[in-house]
Amino acid sequence: MNIPFVRELDFEYGMVARLSPGIRRVIAKNPSPFTYYGTGTYIVGNGEVAVIDPGPDLASHVDALENALEGESVTHILVTHTHRDHSPAARILQQRVGGMIHAFGPHGSGRPEAAGAVEEGADHDFAPDIKLKDGDTLVGPDWTLEAVHTPGHCSNHLCYRLREERVLFCGDHVMGWSTTVVAPPDGDMQAYMKSLKRLLADDDTVYWPTHGPAIRDPQSFVRAYIAHRESREDQILACIEAGDDTIDVMVAKMYATVDPRLHPAAARSVLSHLIHLVESGRVTTNGAASLSATYALSG
């Protein structure tokens, strides 16, 4: 199943855009192969508001957010997860506009067995004022946000559901312009697939990712995401059967048309798939699953 990506986005850096009666967005000027046009910070509500994913430590973006919030009271600052394009500005913004910082927890807090491992791009300095768990609700005068724990991309990844509009701020769990990177040690493919399948039971009408445009048919999109991941595992198994038994060879074959700058991230995503395949008994390896290991089909 092909993923129906939507990549067009009409915006201006640093300007606040009204997306719905209860949602506004300001996009940071931090474009990259991983952030697309940049980090989209959402403002929920009017008057007394919540801010979702303040973004990177980028002065121009924090200034733009402060301008957008002029005359309003910030009661909550919410973080989906602790990568450096999402969480570092939380404390800086708090110092300017107030509000308590909410998140699942510090980086790696959803997967303590990976503690101490190095992950590029992680914000290890982040700590929330208030820790959230799955199902917790946050309330403003004209909005209700529900925390939805969706580990996979990060073990501490939360989505936030705006009940009044039946929309989901999905962070990096699902993105309209690209697939999501699931990179060990904190990224976990098995957890990611479970988190995707969980969303199919919900009745959200729109997803607002932190990067890129809205996803307007979310259930169909998530089904395509799941099918893509299952197809990727089939590709990995086919590579191994053909004798392509190391990750570098697999990536060169499977991602031949992908920007080479993304190949290191692709390699970690393939590793996450292989960890899942080893844990489920479909693949074996000469020791622990790693980027340098050699893999074989079981049996």
Question: What H or E segment, with its residue span, contains residue 266?
Answer: helix 263-279
Q: Please give the structure tokens belonging to residue 282.
A: 């479909």
Q: In CATH, what number does 17-225 get?
A: 3.60.15.10
Q: How many CB atoms lie within 10 A of CB 253?
A: 13
Whole-number pLDDT of residue 88? 98
- What pLDDT, on a 0 to 100 scale, did the predictor assign at position 111? 73
DSSP state letter for 168: E
Contact assessment for residue 56 and residue 89, using Cβ atoms and an 8 Å cutoff: yes
Predicted pLDDT at 120: 62
> Which one is predicted more confidently, 121 or 117?
121
Q: Which CATH number does the domain 227-297 belong to among 1.20.58.340, 1.10.10.10, 1.10.3720.10, 3.90.180.10?
A: 1.10.10.10
Q: Is the model's pLDDT at 229 over the cut of 90?
A: yes
Tell me the pLDDT band of 14, cut-offs 50, 70 and 90.
very high
Q: How many CB atoms lie within 10 A of CB 33?
A: 12
Mean pLDDT of 43-48: 98
Q: How many CB atoms lie within 10 A of CB 106?
A: 18
Cβ proximity of 286 and 294 under 8 Å: yes
Among the listed ranges 98-107, 214-223, 261-270, which one has the minimum average pLDDT value? 261-270
Give residue-wise pLDDT tens across range 143-159.
Answer: 999 999 999 999 999 99
Q: What is the pTM of this model?
A: 0.94
Residue 202 to residue 214: CA distance in whole angstroms: 17
pLDDT band per the 50, 70, 90 thresholds, residue 1: low
pLDDT tens, position by position, 165-176: 999 999 999 999
**Amino acid 115: pLDDT:** 52
Q: So what's the pLDDT on residue 119?
A: 63
Give me the pLDDT at residue 151, please: 97
Q: Measure the CA–CA gap between 57 and 84, rounded to whole angstroms.
A: 8
pLDDT at residue 249, as a whole number: 97
Percent over 90 (pLDDT), the chain: 88
The mean pLDDT of 62-67, rounded to a whole number, is: 98
113 band by pLDDT with thresholds 50, 70 and 90: low
Task: Name the residue ranges covered by the structural domains of the chain.
Answer: 17-225, 227-297
243-251 long-range contacts, Cβ below 8 Å, gap at least 24? 245/294, 245/295, 245/296, 246/292, 246/293, 246/294, 246/295, 247/271, 247/274, 247/291, 247/292, 247/293, 248/291
Q: What is the mean pLDDT of residues 263-274?
A: 92
Radius of gyration in angstroms for the set of CA atoms belonging to the chain, rounded to a whole number:
19
Predicted confidence at residue 261, as pLDDT, reads: 87
Task: Look up residue 42 and give its DSSP letter.
Answer: E
At residue 265, the pLDDT reads: 85
Q: What mean pLDDT, rounded, does the chain reach?
A: 95
If one compares 188 and 119, the residue with the highest pLDDT of the two is 188
